[in-house]
Amino acid sequence: MSFEDLGLSPEILKAISECGYTEPTPIQAKAIPPILMTRDVLGLAQTGTGKTASFILPMIEVLAGGQAKARMPRSLVLAPTRELAAQVADNFDQYGKYLKLNKALLVGGESVMEQKKVLDKGVDVLIATPGRLLDLFERGSILLNDIKILVIDEADRMLDMGFIPDIEKIIAMVPPLRQTLLFSATMPKEIKGLADKLLSNPKEVSVAPPASPAETVRQSLVWTPKNRKRDTLNEIIKQEDVKNAFVFCNRKRDIDGLAEWLTKKGYSVAPLHGDMPQTKRYETLERFKAGKVTLLICSDVAARGLDVAGMSHVFNYDVPMHADDYIHRIGRTGRAGMKGTAFTLAATGGDDIKFVKSIEYLIKKPLPVEKLGAGKQAPQKQAPQKQAAQKQDTQQKKPPQKQERRVSEKKAQPETQPKKSRDVSQKSVPKNQDKVQGDDVAGFGDEVPDFFGR
């Protein structure tokens, strides 16, 4: 299928071709036709799949015919973070460059006066974070009576960030007769409930099973004593060919300290977190995108949805506490079909074992363990990278039939499982930690069949 087949106008096709896109991504091929037919859409897609264009392209096609009145935007895109909203706005600028459409970006940390001025001129596409939108609405600077298309992007993240009550308030302000598009990377029951309330007979489109990490990302788990995490990270970075990477921390307060430490080690590093002023955040991101910074030490919120082309690595300095965040984090690399690598550092002896298990449960496979540096427990026969690649290779080559049989045997006779399988689980989880957790082991060892979406 080509973009021409989707029925987009020549102005949009020209802009798309200048972006270098030759064909629609699967989510675009599935979502654009129903959106053009003014249907509500429930889209299940991760960032990196081209989902932003899947709603922006048909939206601007539909809006191209009309004109906006002062302070009465014609469409509204709600995004959970400022960075994501800014990215949606960038997409709009690229794809709409040959159309006479205006946009406004309403995010916290920017001047309210400037934002009001833009709204006064009349905007076709309003891109906002929920808090700032409500703020301007309450000041009477904006009317939502003319909204014809409402998009809720990254709905699962909205839920995590506690924005659902704000979203519900905003819904009450937009006309009931409108087109609604809701996109989410995962579909927890709260989001399903929201979708049932908001969407009318939606077309459901999905491009990857919920919570399946990009196939192009090589994932590794490294166990390390807590007090050696920095050294372990340093060792991994040294052994890897890191072009540019996000290093995720769970707590904002750890970010600056780690950034300083890595800077002293001679790396080109910058921190990125929600406590930094907005201008500084944009500037940091621009420097990272321009290749002037190699390691961006960041929090989940700051890095959510950020799209940096060709990023080689993601390092989880902390195991994310929510398994969904793992998917989002590692999805920063391996984008648009390129290869990427994600390392997760897990501290021995604490809660990380729980978080690792819940990730393994969500992605339905064990995280391959690499033993190296501070986490090394046994001598390696060959380079960990090579070993992991070979392991993956062997797994891919295994005939599916054989794998399925092994799993059903395992299910049928859990107690008589041959020693091999126990070795495997000991390999992916340190023995003493497993005991702490009791029976709630959610992984499958290394013996996972292809039908689990490896």
Residues that bind ligand AMP (CB under 6 A): 21, 24-25, 28, 47-53, 307, 309, 335-336
Instruction: Please provide residue 73's backbone torsions phi and psi, each rounded to the nearest 5 degrees.
Output: -60, 155
Residue type for 145, please?
Answer: N
CB nearer to ligand AMP: give 57 or 144: 57
Min dist. Cβ of residue 73 to ligand AMP (A): 21
Q: Which residue number, 307 or 409, has a Cβ lying nearer to ligand AMP?
A: 307
CA 242 to chain CA centroid, nearest Å: 20
SS (H, E, C) the chain: CCCHHHCCCHHHHHHHHHHCCCCCCHHHHHHHHHHHCCCCEEEECCCCCCHHHHHHHHHHHHHCCCCCECCECCEEEECCCHHHHHHHHHHHHHHCCCCCCCEEEECCCCCHHHHHHHHHHCCCEEEECHHHHHHHHHCCCCCCCCCCEEEECCHHHHHHCCCHHHHHHHHHHCCCCCEEEEEECCCCHHHHHHHHHHCCCCEEEECCCCCCCCCCEEEEEEEECHHHHHHHHHHHHHHCCCCCEEEECCCHHHHHHHHHHHHHCCCCEEEECCCCCHHHHHHHHHHHHCCCCCEEEECHHHHCCCCCCCCCEEEECCCCCCHHHHHHHHCCCCHHHCCEEEEEEEECCCCHHHHHHHHHHHHCCCCCECCCHHHCCCCCCCCHHHHHHHHHHHHHHCCHHHHHHHHHHHHHCCCCCCHHHHHHHHHHCCHHHHHHHCCCCCCCCCCCCHHHCC
For residue 100, the one-letter residue type is K
Measured from the CB of residue 51, what is the shortest distance to ligand AMP in angstroms? Answer: 4
Q: Which residue number, 89 or 347, has a Cβ lying nearer to ligand AMP?
A: 89
Q: Smallest gap, in angstroms, from Cβ of residue 334 to ligand AMP?
A: 11
Minimum Å distance from CB 149 to ligand AMP?
17
Rounded to a whole number of angstroms, the minimum distance from the CB of residue 23 to ligand AMP is 6
Q: How far apart are CA 285 and CA 298, in angstroms?
A: 11
Nearer to ligand AMP, 79 or 221 (CB): 79
In angstroms, give the least distance from the CB of 352 to ligand AMP.
29
Query: Minimum Å distance from CB 337 to ligand AMP?
Result: 9
Q: Are 25 and 33 in contact (CB under 8 A)?
A: no
In whole angstroms, the minimum distance from the beta carbon of 6 to ligand AMP comes to 11
Which of 2, 394 has the CB closer to ligand AMP? 2
The nearest distance, CB 10 to ligand AMP, in angstroms, is: 17
Which residues are CB-neighbours of 194 under 8 A, at least 6 positions away? Answer: 155, 159, 164, 167, 182
Comparing CB distances to ligand AMP, the nearer of 24 and 384 is: 24
Whose Cβ is closer to ligand AMP: residue 47's or residue 232's? 47
Indicate the residue among 229 and 328 with the shorter CB distance to ligand AMP.
Answer: 328
User: What is the closest distance, in whole angstroms, from the C-beta atom of residue 28 to ligand AMP in the complex?
Assistant: 6
Amino acid, single-letter form, for residue 40: D
Closer to ligand AMP at the Cβ: 24 or 213? 24
For the CB of residue 209, give the shortest distance to ligand AMP in the complex, in Å. 16
